[in-house]
Amino acid sequence: MAPGSKAERKAALDAGAWMFNVVTSVGIIMVNKALMATHGFSFATTLTGLHFAMTTLMTLVMKWLGYIQPSYLPLPELVKFAFFANLSIVGMNVSLMWNSVGFYQIAKLCIIPVLCILEIIVDKVRYSRDTKLSIVLVLVGVAVCTVTDVSVNSQGLLAAVIAVWSTALQQHYVHHLQWKYSLGSFNLLGHTAPAQAASLLVLGPFVDFWLTNKRVDAFNYTSIVTFFIVLSCIIAVGTNLSQFICIGRFTAVSFQVLGHMKTVLVLTLGFLFFGKEGLNFHVALGMLLAVIGMIWYGNASSKPGGKERQVYSTPSEKTQKHGVLSSQSELDQKV
């Protein structure tokens, strides 16, 4: 295959991966908004456990069909990942409960600089000036269009710090595990989804009762609520898979920066379907700045020297230590 056609194919696959993540992420946000805001199902942690249970079912079916090949992930690595991932979920929910919406949004934005620190320290990544400025522009744009009231207390600040660092560590760990153990997205999900499903379904009802003072088993499960729960779980399979694909193909920082396109789309769809209250000049300006920053970041980080590792592992060393990349990685290319 000619170099030009290879580059074009990679660009098409990259765009497809991002589109897959954007569509599924926006879809699940809209479904969950209807489920929680309209129908009062406020058990977010338990719902996430159901999401991973459905994802586990998907991976079992894929294994049975032969699309997921046997792979290895050490138990300590799996436990560490599940701990970070579950702490991220609970931390974000608690942060939202204890903080104002404005400070919660600021905390979410802090994930990007924390990930940058992890990449610089752990992965020895170097950023160009344009790449750094584009990240700043994205942060400013998203802050302008989402941050309103900002109030914080010591309890809420602690929850936000835990949520930010656990989320950053979980997303950085996805890329680390895929690279270190030559795991494709399906393989990694096959290892992590069952662990997260089991732990969240056990702990979720207790966490949700602590957060909402309501029991998940006492909720009135009407047919429409059940439909939205099932629909949310089905979409979550694509969301979980697409997150692993995108972080594996790019990095956690790129996933977070370009992922704020979802924030812009959710705001836009919210204005279209749930009324135009809150749509004003500074919100529109913030959305425009964020989009410009994302385009700038994509262009700047893809240029030579825009974002690169200072220390590289040679393919032969990686092959000798971990074996050749599994056929699952090829399947990721096709998704």
Residue 335 lies in a domain: no
For the chain, percent of residues with pLDDT exceeding 70: 86
The pLDDT assigned to 244 comes to 87
Residue 153 lies in a domain: yes
Work out the pLDDT band at 276, boundaries 50, 70, 90: low
**What is the DSSP annotation of 110-167?**
THHHHHHHHHHHTS-EEE-HHHHHHHHHHHHHHHHHH-------HHHHHHHHHHHHHH
Which tens digit of pLDDT belongs to each residue from 109-137? 888 899 999 888 888 888 888 988 999 99
Residue 315 lies in a domain: no
Residue 165 lies in a domain: yes
Work out the pLDDT band at 198, boundaries 50, 70, 90: very high
Which range of residues forms the domain containing residue 296?
14-309
Q: Classify the phi-psi angles of 321: left when phi > 0, otherwise alpha if psi is within -120 to 50, otherwise beta.
A: alpha
The pLDDT assigned to 2 comes to 54
CB atoms closer than 10 angstroms to residue 164: 24
Q: Which residues of 100-125 are buried (b: 16+ CB within 10 A; e: fewer)?
A: bebbbbbbbbbbbbbbbebbeeebeb
Work out the pLDDT band at 325, boundaries 50, 70, 90: very low
**Measured between alpha carbons, how far is 242 from 141 in angstroms, rounded to an integer?**
25
Alpha helices in 181-219 (DSSP H): 185-212
The pLDDT assigned to 319 comes to 41
Higher pLDDT residue, 256 or 170?
A: 170
Find, among 203, 184, 239, the residue nearest to 51 by Cα: 239
pLDDT at 326 over 50: no
| Average pLDDT of every residue of the chain | 82
Cα dihedral sign, 183-50-40-85: negative
Residue 5 lies in a domain: no
Residues 263 and 290 sit within 8 Å (Cβ to Cβ): yes
Higher pLDDT residue, 7 or 170?
A: 170
**Measured between alpha carbons, how far is 283 from 263 in angstroms, rounded to an integer?**
12
Q: Provide φ and ψ at 239, rounded to 5°.
A: -65, -45
Q: What is the count of structural domains for the chain?
A: 1
pLDDT at 316 over 50: no
Amino acid identity for residue 160 in this structure = A
Higher pLDDT residue, 222 or 285?
A: 222
Residue 243 lies in a domain: yes
Look-up of token digits 């836009």: 268
When pLDDT is averaged across residues 226-241 and rounded to a whole number, the result is 94
Residue 70 lies in a domain: yes
When pLDDT is averaged across residues 233-256 and rounded to a whole number, the result is 87
Residue 161 lies in a domain: yes
